[in-house]
């Protein structure tokens, strides 16, 4: 039986991705939706991209663009860099790419540029890295960069009165368009959680793999969850984004 599996932010933690995919028993029948931020953190950023490129050849995969993916793409394709990016995981990615051939870099550039800003399935479930701000939904978003930079959607969901129903006139219009919304970008470890967190109809699947949390895969239909070991334990000689 096919499953729709959503995967949180990886941040170069390829060992965690291998581990959690094995634990979830991922098969060729599954649809894998990756929420972005494949790089910047642990030392296997380019190897993670290699793996995802190959995975996409044999599996049904949807690859969403994360803000760190855009930053890495800008560095690879335009030689754009900044101290903030380097400090927040970019330097590890730069170092990891030092021995990559031009042919390999060309494949990676094409992968980064092919990433999707969001995915909306036939059941009105929206998948994107960060959020959006237009009250009419993602199709009318004025600023596409918000799909992978915005934090207000998740902040709004966290602050929403749990007793407020979608029928209430004060219920946020942004949330009414979709049955469920799946995001990453803001680690749930910031609110003391290590598993995906649901507020209103928003699910945050970033369980802090870039720091000291695990990497998570969730079945969006059953909400069954699989997690890797805390990623920092898989890279004991590295700091990640800690």
> What residues in the chain have per-residue pLDDT under 70?
none
How is 133-170 classified by DSSP, letter by letter? --TT-GGG-S-TTHHHH--HHHHHHHHS-TT--TTSTT
Residue spans per domain, the chain = 4-234
> What is this structure's pTM?
0.97
What's the pLDDT score for residue 69?
98
What ranges in the chain are assigned the alpha helix state H? 14-23, 45-58, 67-78, 83-85, 91-96, 102-114, 146-149, 152-159, 231-234
What's the pLDDT score for residue 1?
76
CATH architecture of 4-234: 4-Layer Sandwich (3.60)
What's the pLDDT score for residue 64?
98
């Amino acid at each position: 039986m096919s499953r729709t599996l959503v995967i949180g932010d990886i941040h170069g933690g390829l060992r965690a991705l291998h581990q959690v995919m094995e634990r979830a028993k991922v098969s060729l029948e599954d649809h894998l939706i990756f929420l972005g931020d494949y790089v910047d953190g642990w030392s296997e950023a380019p190897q993670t991209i290699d793996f995802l490129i190959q995975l996409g050849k044999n599996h049904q995969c949807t690859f969403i663009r994360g803000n760190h993916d855009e930053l890495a793409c800008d560095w690879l394709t335009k030689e754009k860099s900044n101290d903030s990016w380097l400090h927040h995981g970019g330097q590890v990615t730069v170092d990891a790419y030092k021995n990559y051939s031009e042919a390999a870099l060309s494949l990676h550039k094409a992968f980064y540029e092919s990433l999707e800003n969001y995915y909306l399935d036939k059941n009105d479930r929206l998948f994107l890295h960060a959020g959006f701000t237009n009250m009419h939904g993602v199709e009318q978003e004025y600023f596409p960069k918000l799909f992978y930079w915005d934090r207000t959607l998740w902040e709004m969901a966290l602050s929403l009165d749990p007793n407020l129903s979608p029928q209430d006139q004060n219920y946020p219009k942004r949330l009414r368009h979709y049955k469920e919304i799946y995001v990453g970008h803001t680690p749930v470890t910031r609110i003391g959680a290590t598993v995906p967190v649901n507020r209103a109809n928003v699910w945050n699947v970033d369980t802090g793999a870039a720091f000291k949390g695990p990497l998570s895969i969730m079945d969006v239909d059953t909400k069954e969850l699989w997690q890797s070991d805390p990623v920092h334990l898989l890279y004991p000689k590295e700091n990640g984004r800690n």
